[in-house]
Amino acid sequence: MLHEITLTINGESYPVIVKSHYTLSRVLREQLGLTGTKIGCENGECGACTVLLDGEPVNSCLVLAVEAEGHRIETVEGLSKGGQLHPLQKAFIEHNAVQCGFCTPGMLMTAKALLERNPHPTEEEVRFALVGNLCRCTGYLRIIDAVLEVAEKGGEA
């Protein structure tokens, strides 16, 4: 079954025709060319495909594209503004919180949602928020440091 829908992504409207069973992650990457969102496990375990839906982190591999209509979608492509990296992106670079980079878009989006809801999280709160984002390179410590630094500096998240 086909559905003619309009997705609102990073503030822009994208009219798109999707099949019922297409996931949001698939449509973002394959139909809209927004390949910043990664696909890892396709099972809701790894968090590589995390995007924000109405400001909250979700696994875009577990959302049907047709379900996302009418909701505000944010992807990693929407983080930098006017050529300026987002404070979280800068902090990830400064702390070497990126190695292979595959988990980074998902980490950034989950961290953004956390800081919007809770601008000054404790380390434990950061760790709990990031439970659903797996990283096999960094050992997590640098990622946690980067998120905490943005929180401490009160960087607009």
Partner 1 sequence: MRPFDYYKPTTYEEAFALLTRPNQVMMPLAGATDLIPMVRDERWQPDGVVDIKNLPGMRDLRVTPEGLYVGAAVRMAELVRSPLVNASPWNLLAQGAQAMGHEQVRHRATLGGNLCTASPAADTAPALLVLEALALIRGPQGERRLPMGEFFLGPRKTALQKGELLIGVLIPEPPAGSVGTYVKLSRRKAGDLAIVGVAALAFPQDGGYRWRLALGSVAPTPIRAPRAEEALAQGYDEATIAAAGELALESCSPIDDMRASAVYRCEMVKQITRRAIEMTVQKLAGA
Q: What is the sign of the dihedral through the CA atoms of 61, 131, 146 and 99?
A: negative
* Backbone torsions φ then ψ of 141, nearest 5 degrees: -60, -40
Closest alpha carbon to 29 in 57, 9, 6: 9
Whole-number minimum distance, CB 58 to partner 1, in Å?
A: 5
Binding residues for partner 1, per CB under 8 A? 1, 3, 19-21, 23, 42-44, 47, 50, 53, 56-59, 61-64, 66-67, 110, 113, 128-132
Whole-number minimum distance, CB 64 to partner 1, in Å?
A: 6
Whole-number minimum distance, CB 84 to partner 1, in Å?
A: 27
Whole-number minimum distance, CB 104 to partner 1, in Å?
A: 16
In the bound state with partner 1, the residue whose beta carbon lies nearer, of 90 and 125, is 125
Q: Are 144 and 130 in contact (CB under 8 A)?
A: yes
In the bound state with partner 1, the residue whose beta carbon lies nearer, of 64 and 137, is 64
In the bound state with partner 1, the residue whose beta carbon lies nearer, of 57 and 105, is 57
**How far is it, in rounded angstroms, from Cα 140 to Cα 60?**
22
In the bound state with partner 1, the residue whose beta carbon lies nearer, of 19 and 136, is 19
In the bound state with partner 1, the residue whose beta carbon lies nearer, of 97 and 126, is 126
**How far is it, in rounded angstroms, from Cα 66 to Cα 74?**
16
Whole-number minimum distance, CB 80 to partner 1, in Å?
A: 23
Q: C-alpha distances in angstroms, 4 versus 25, 109, 125, 129?
A: 17, 27, 40, 34
